[in-house]
Structure 1
């Protein structure tokens, strides 16, 4: 089959963390492999960042983007329904609309790629006789844990977080109980059952694509391919195709934030952001503010209202202080730190900031998209995981890869107090010789990722294998 005529549909479930890597995969297939790509986006109320990405002026030009509104599931959930359950129900209920969108295309897709919540769409691929692949927008370690959890479910009694010993995955690094992903925190909750089902359904597809690369997780990737025990649950090929991260785009006019960065010394600014969905308790927001101020180090902080607040994107104008400081930040915080740093509500152009020579460290929630963006710009991290698989990522980044520091207190378990934050920020930013290895190591990992994506590199070849596999399967159907 001529790959110029190959048409692939990729489905993104709701959320910026799913949309971004799906668009990057689609763009890579289109630009580097001459594939016609349609991206089907299941939309809810779009965040400012999602709206910007999907706007015709900024969306990838070579992709055909189809937005499918999700079905109202308010009658199927309540206030206690966890995120994994909500997304699973949403994708199940929206399946008829996605099927209609695919059926209505003039050139029906030859193959279907879905993100990690898209296993609900397996029947559509089966009905239309399409080769089908699942794209896990995270690490190989996450894939190993997710697929093997069906075995752990039978072997382990009680809650995983209460276990005294690490959870063993054949051929892989064990998972410490404190690092388990959110759905594994409560085995009585529906999202745990949804998570187990997802891991089982990965092997219903023709292959598992992962946003990682051979040199980043060699032991885990080899275990997924070759370990006899792990192969009993991972029954299909795995394809490391990363690191897929957002490229830096040239801008015609610099923002005020970038102009401020231009005036700062090299590697002197700490960038602080917890992702598109990361929120903390008001007490922790307050302690972080004090810690940043007391450290007297330069910073950019993307602030979101704390969990208890329902403030919207205009919260900076609703502050109680005379300088407009929001009520949940220390009084006159903005006034006292206006020369030291920049506090920005909700969203910033992250790649543009990480790419700037003045930014030396990224204090991050360790969402995998953000981690890859930091690595691709050669910026080490302070790991501050909040939810989902971020604790797993934080351990990988700090202990295995050596590209991040982490607080002695686990932020997800306890409030990290201002004294520790002050000390940590100052140590990381001032005493660079002490942590020099992390700066050197992150540059090495960046180069490794660049090589993997280049023509002839491991990830480039891996994506070529996906295309060849798809073509072989299509020929059998003719």
Structure 2
């Protein structure tokens, strides 16, 4: 007789979100071997190679199923990729409902955990009379914004980008209105309406599982917990990061082996980040001007700020960098088209800094490896993450942008030298080391995140006992 406690997870078809929730799943079943997980994954089309590699590496105690893509033929060819995901997940709700009912009929579920961007699932869990939780792959500061934004919507009248003073979310570092996520930048737009409606649904959840840890956001966690039953309980159970890559670029790692400790700057904009052509040019010139060693994961420019599926890339990104750049910097740096083994790179002793888009996965990978950061946010909540890192934790520097939103080459060179060899960089390096140690401690056997996860599992098991009775 199967006595395992069964949990269903519902992800969204965004690689970074899926990767995070699967890392949570793997740690969950590793620490608690009497837990069984089934992950339901909506799709927007063919399944990319990166996603296939993720799910094929899962342990036997984690099942997964890909749902058939919904009909999206009515959408325009140049439909924004972020909106495409929201439409696809919305149109997949019947398939998700059918999958949950089927799983529940075979092996009674004790809880459903859904990604924070697909909270419509919470209604389905209520129909099945099953406890529901949200997996939040970002941080407590963004969760605070999500939970308090419906109240902000009722009490504030101006556009948030026009606020004269920084916004002070409870327990968080003050943040400029222009640094709030894109859906909040136009309160008359459809994205804003969808954002607020989705945030209101958070209050249907029995709890929110957050990929963060106490020492990283202690004050925010304290304030959220003081709210008691007014808001869903926030479980700080991270950091969850990918342990290693299934693919290796030996030439890239061999090049790093030849460099001095802490001498190389790593530049990458996540699993899908991309710069405009003008910004790509300025970054290239800034790298060259800085004189610092670098390894740059280069992608073709994009009008959206990100690309969809790296496995489908068919352009040579090297054609977009300034003429002669590779020849002039052949002894200074290494340019890697499209993809590099980020986990192995960030853990390499030669790496001394990281220019990052500040996606939360990349942020945590940098923290876990103790690598100081230069924040270069592109979209989503990344500007908020940059504020946490630079103004709150002070483990990063943030370059200034001009009136066109471009970081100019002189600014690029200055912040690079600052973080790699400057006096400010020394202090940042020490603070990042302390944060790394805290992250290590959080996931130890008696660490704060491990204990919090154990409390959550105990709750789930008690729900299973109640079902049997």
Q: 1:376 aligns with which of 368, 371, 396?
A: 368
Q: 2:255 aligns with which of 255, 260, 268?
A: 260
Aligned to 1:399: 391
Query: What's the CA shift for 1:212?
Result: 0.8
Aligned to 2:415: 424
Q: Residue 89 and residue 249 in structure 1: after superposition, are their counterparts in 2 closer, same or farther (change >3 A)?
A: closer
Q: Does the alignment pair 1:73 with 2:68?
A: no
- Spell out, residue by residue over 1:152-193, the C-alpha distance to the aligned partner (whole angstroms, 9 max, x if none): 111111211011122233444333212111110111111111
Aligned to 2:326: 334
TM-score (norm 1): 0.89
Q: Residue 61 and residue 371 in structure 1: after superposition, are their counterparts in 2 closer, same or farther (change >3 A)?
A: farther
Q: Does the alignment pair 1:53 with 2:43?
A: no
Query: What's the CA shift for 1:459?
Result: 0.8
State the distance in 2 between where 1:308 and 1:254 align: 28
Q: Residue 410 and residue 450 in structure 1: after superposition, are their counterparts in 2 closer, same or farther (change >3 A)?
A: farther
State the distance in 2 between where 1:79 and 1:465 align: 46
Contact 1:10 1:112 in 2 (8 A): yes
Aligned to 2:39: 39
Aligned to 1:322: none
State the secondary structure of the residue aligned to 2:437: helix
State the secondary structure of the residue aligned to 1:192: helix
Q: Does the alignment pair 1:13 with 2:12?
A: yes
Query: What's the CA shift for 1:410?
Result: 7.1
RMSD value, Cα: 2.5
Q: Does the alignment pair 1:102 with 2:100?
A: yes
Q: 2:243 aligns with which of 223, 243, 247?
A: 247
Contact 1:168 1:174 in 2 (8 A): yes
State the secondary structure of the residue aligned to 2:67: strand
Contact 2:26 2:58 in 1 (8 A): no
Contact 2:173 2:388 in 1 (8 A): no
State the secondary structure of the residue aligned to 1:149: helix
- Spell out, residue by residue over 1:239-259, the C-alpha distance to the aligned partner (whole angstroms, 9 max, x if none): 1111111113698x7611111
Unaligned runs of 5+ residues in structure 1 are 320-324
Aligned to 1:443: 433
Q: Residue 332 and residue 72 in structure 1: after superposition, are their counterparts in 2 closer, same or farther (change >3 A)?
A: farther
- Spell out, residue by residue over 1:106-151, the C-alpha distance to the aligned partner (whole angstroms, 9 max, x if none): 4353321111112111232123322110011111110011111111
Alignment of structure 1 residues 361-372 onto 2, 5 Å: 361-372=353-364
State the distance in 2 between where 1:470 and 1:19 align: 22
Q: Residue 241 and residue 156 in structure 1: after superposition, are their counterparts in 2 closer, same or farther (change >3 A)?
A: same
Alignment of structure 1 residues 280-359 onto 2, 5 Å: 280-308=275-303, 313-316=313-316, 325-326=318-319, 328-359=320-351
- Spell out, residue by residue over 1:303-340, the C-alpha distance to the aligned partner (whole angstroms, 9 max, x if none): 11112599962422xx7xxxxx40x2101222222222
Q: Residue 81 and residue 153 in structure 1: after superposition, are their counterparts in 2 closer, same or farther (change >3 A)?
A: farther
Q: Does the alignment pair 1:468 with 2:464?
A: no
Unaligned runs of 5+ residues in structure 2 are none
Query: What's the CA shift for 1:414?
Result: 1.4
State the distance in 1 between where 2:234 and 2:80 align: 32
Query: What's the CA shift for 1:465?
Result: 1.8
Alignment of structure 1 residues 94-133 onto 2, 5 Å: 94-105=92-103, 106-133=106-133
Contact 1:77 1:86 in 2 (8 A): no
State the secondary structure of the residue aligned to 2:107: coil
TM-score (norm 2): 0.91
- Spell out, residue by residue over 1:251-270, the C-alpha distance to the aligned partner (whole angstroms, 9 max, x if none): 8x761111111111111111
State the distance in 2 between where 1:186 and 1:82 align: 19
Contact 2:249 2:340 in 1 (8 A): no
Q: Does the alignment pair 1:275 with 2:270?
A: yes
